[in-house]
Chain A
Amino acid sequence: MDWSLFLPGATGWGDELAAGLWLTLRLGLASVLIGTGLGLLAALGELSRFRALSHGLAAYNVVMRSVPELLVILLLYYGLSFLIMALLRPFGIDSFIEVSPFWAGTLALSLIHAAYASEVFRGAFQAIPKGQVEAGLAFGMSRFLVFRRIKWPVAFRLSLGALANLLMTTFKNTPLVSAIGLQDLIRAAGDAGQNTKLYFQFFIASLVIYLAIAALMQIFQMRAETNLYAHLRRGPSA
């Protein structure tokens, strides 16, 4: 096999692949960050006393978790520009507006990520022993302080494993954005394959990168868990 194919430059595809990877990383990270934040808010909303809010959010989760990611991406990409144009029309602005594919894709993946993350957080908050919260309140802590010092640290530990899995899921969803014209890693590998007729090599290369990300995540997750659960380890620490 000719390894120079993977080098940057006029004959190699290294720079195209690197640009694709960069897009994948930016898109994935932005979606995970926004999605996790929205998921936390949605979980708090679901657990709130406002019936309509919690039912609405529960319905949102069911819909988002049942519909293919590709459909959500397409709907947001087309739908957002239609929506913005429709909203601007009453103000006399009649120009054609196109949403940036990157932000449409990020928003779609974030909204999907949020639906799954909110289920994780909701389960974690519900698993917090009531006594801990009551003890905090009995000591005169404000509701916010109870959240910051008791609920959040416990819930975060409980949800960490599932959140790491979700991160991988969202990263694996990023190649779908090539449907709205973005050049991610898989798309770059496909272009390289088309030009060189060496699809196999380039797709294997992109798979190796994805698996490396997955392996890194697993190591990080194990490290984080050993550190966060230090107090639960039995006997003298190994």
Chain B
Amino acid sequence: MILDWETFLTFVPLLVQGAVTTIELTVLVTIFGFLIALPVALARNSASRAARAFARSFIFFFRGAPILAVLFLLYYGLPQIPGIKDSILWHLIARPMPIAVLALSLNSAGFLAEIFALALRNVAVGDIEAARAFGFSRFQTFLRFALPGAARLCMRAYGNELVFVLKGTAAVNFITITDLIGAANQIYFNTFDPITPLLVAGAIYLVFALLIVTAVRYMERRLSPWLFLKAALKEAKA
């Protein structure tokens, strides 16, 4: 039953297409997830009670809800809203891809907002006070001190979340998008071998995840080189 490699090669273009869809989704969700999460994280730490309550509910909702439930709610539920089919918005959401990006981004933002908020709270108070004392405006202080400081603190957790984004994209198979797993499934239907295509797809996912982890490690070293001084010195000596 295990399929021979010659037959398998004819399906490589299909796999490549699926892999491209998976990458596309991962990149888009990384971008939009970040853009949604940052304001929510700021609201989570804000002095306003209402903003905090909103951020807390947002985080609670999207961290507690299964990705599939959010995806289905948007994919099947949105068209039910009266009048939506006449609006301009409809052109955007009538296709599965934007819906998938929106649902996955919201899901990821729930986790990211909590990570960012925690990191922002833990930036050394002295750094912020020093910046303010030197006459930086509140906005400048945020941009040049709080944000980089928080980035240092949350890099590892952020990397883990990015791997979850990659894995989460698999949910799009349930709303007719063909990603890597979808491609593997199509090869199965054509060859009656379910195992080889899935194993190959799994290996590709593994490579993607390792790439993400390596990139995040690199960023971590760039952001806080002093933490890696010992390791670097050891390497230099050896």
Contact = CB atoms under 8 A, between A and B. Distances in A.
A75 B69 contact: no
Given A200-B77, A210-B65, A70 B198 contact: no
Given A74-B198, A172-B66, A67 B205 contact: yes
A210 B69 CA distance: 9
A94 to B, nearest CB: 13
A75 B195 contact: yes
How would you classify the secondary structure of chain B's contact residues: helix, strand, loop or mixed?
helix
A179 interface: yes
B181 A70 contact: yes
A201 to B, nearest CB: 8
B148 interface: no
B199 interface: yes
Contacts of B174: 178-179
Interface residues of A, number: 40
Contacts of B194: 74-75, 78-79, 82
Contacts of B77: 193, 199-200, 203-204
A63 interface: yes
Nearest to A85: B1
B33 to A, nearest CB: 17
Nearest to A190: B72
Given A68-B181, A211-B65, A200 B80 contact: yes
Interface in A54-92: 62-63, 65-71, 74-75, 78-79, 82
Contact of A198 (B69, B70, B80, B199): B80
A172 B171 CA distance: 12
B210 interface: yes
B69 A207 contact: yes
A45 interface: no
Q: Which of A71, A176, A189, A198 has the most CB of B within 10 A?
A: A71
Q: Which 3 A-B pairs have the closest CB atoms?
A: A66-B209, A214-B64, A68-B170
20 contacts: A62-B210, A68-B168, A75-B194, A78-B188, A78-B194, A78-B198, A82-B194, A82-B195, A168-B63, A172-B65, A172-B66, A172-B67, A186-B66, A193-B77, A199-B80, A200-B76, A200-B81, A203-B72, A210-B65, A210-B69
